[in-house]
Amino acid sequence: MKLARRVEALPPYLFAEISKKIAAKRAEGVDIVTFGIGDPDLATPRNILDALHTAAEEPVNHRYPESEGLPELRQSISDWYERRFEVKFDPQKETLPLIGSKEGIGHVALCFIDPGDIALVPDPGYPVYEVGTMFAGGTSYKLDCNREGGWKPDFDKIPADVADKAKVIWLNYPNNPTGAVADFDFFERAVAWAKKHDVAILHDNPYCDVAYDGYKPISIFQVPGARDVAIEFNSWSKIYNMTGWRIGMVVGNPVMIDALMRVKSNIDSGIPQAIQKMAIEAVYGPQDCIDEHNAIYQRRRDRMVEVLRKAGLEVDMPKASLYVWAKLPDGVTSADYAARLIDETGVVVTPGRGYGLNGEGYIRLSVTTPDDRMEEGLRRIEAWAR
């Protein structure tokens, strides 16, 4: 049996490898505390669960769902964007529900990338941007993002020949893994650069409502003209603690949305309709859960940064996202640090090298660990670092 070359070349998925490591340690009887994956530990709000329970009793929701989603779900997405960012989208032409935003992120390269084409991918960045490009037969050109530059690419440093050949550029703010944020001026420069070079912008924005200290992340579509060149992925996973229900969306340029819909309709049968009803309730129901959840995450963030700094790591206080991005002492690799930490303390962190070359020398920790387990993990890190 011979597998396809694309599978043979596929690197192990970072979080799958972490999960295997955790399972192996637990099988040895180790008490594991994990800060590894950004999966909210807080429950989906009750009103949203009630909507699921009601919808599950309706026989119409037991059948195949359509790939494009219920019209009322697409309307709710449009309404949410207007309420949150004061931008309007045509529900039928400029919105598309997704089975979690990762589905669209992984498949969108099939809309743009032919074999040999270039995608501009941030380094460090979410690994699926590069993997989706590889599946489509394209090549990822890594954009140099670093602490000094606020973990944002410098468009002026992209070589002209690369810019002219590129088909897409990936952006992600608030950022995973670094927690970096971007302002209006940055997105304005991104749109101008994309128009100049005829490059599609793919903006990944699932942390737009996970923010602290009064900060309010923005959408790229608040920039005039962004709709000419961009689509934006988003998700209810992090905003309403719905990671397990797999509900996301993409909005923006209607030609790009239609292309992804055509790919999607040939691959899946859509989001279960009872879950679509949950998402609709999330939009139109009470919104106080967002501030309540963020207050918990902010308290955890503050505590985590305090302990990591005491442990000798450099940390910039993140304004948004579920992550703390910590710089290790010079000469210490992220893989070695993470391996020693789990072996010697039972605490799991994510090595920054898994997000690209520029992630080397950093680790990522998530604030989605229950309070008691978080305190236990931080206690172990503090004692270990002495």
CATH number for the domain spanning 112: value is: 3.40.640.10
- CA-nearest of 153, 100, 104 to 125 is 153
Confidence (pTM): 0.95
Residues 169 and 67 in one domain: yes
| DSSP per-residue string spanning 23-68 | HHHHHTT---EE--S----SPPPHHHHHHHHHHHT-GGGGSPPPTT
Q: Which helix (H) or strand (E) covers residue 123, if one does? A: strand 118-123
Instruction: Compute the distance between CA of residue 216 and CA of residue 205 in angstroms, rounded to an integer.
Output: 12
Do 12 and 85 belong together in one domain?
A: no
Question: Residues with Cβ < 8 Å from 156, sequence gap 6 or more?
Answer: none
Domain end: 284, 319, 348, which one?
Answer: 284
Same domain, 22 and 83: no
Task: Write the Ramachandran bin of 68: left for phi over 0, alpha for psi from -120 to 50, otherwise beta.
Answer: alpha
243 and 153 both lie in a single domain: yes
Number of domain units in the chain: 2
Copy the structure tokens of residue 262.
Answer: 């055509």
Q: Which domain holds residue 142?
A: 46-284
346 backbone φψ class: left, alpha, beta (φ>0; ψ -120 to 50): left
CA angle 209–103–365, rounded 5-degree value: 50
Same domain, 209 and 270: yes
Instruction: Per-residue pLDDT tens, the chain, 386 aa: give them.
Output: 888 888 877 777 666 777 787 888 888 888 999 999 899 999 999 999 999 999 999 999 999 999 999 999 999 999 999 999 999 999 999 999 999 999 999 999 999 999 999 999 999 999 999 999 999 999 999 999 999 999 999 999 999 999 999 999 999 999 999 999 999 999 999 999 999 999 999 999 999 999 999 999 999 999 999 999 999 999 999 999 999 999 999 999 999 999 999 999 999 889 999 999 999 999 999 999 999 999 999 999 999 999 999 999 999 999 999 999 999 999 999 999 999 999 999 999 999 999 999 999 999 999 999 999 999 999 999 999 87
Distance CA 120, CA 137 (A): 14
Residues 139 and 237 in one domain: yes
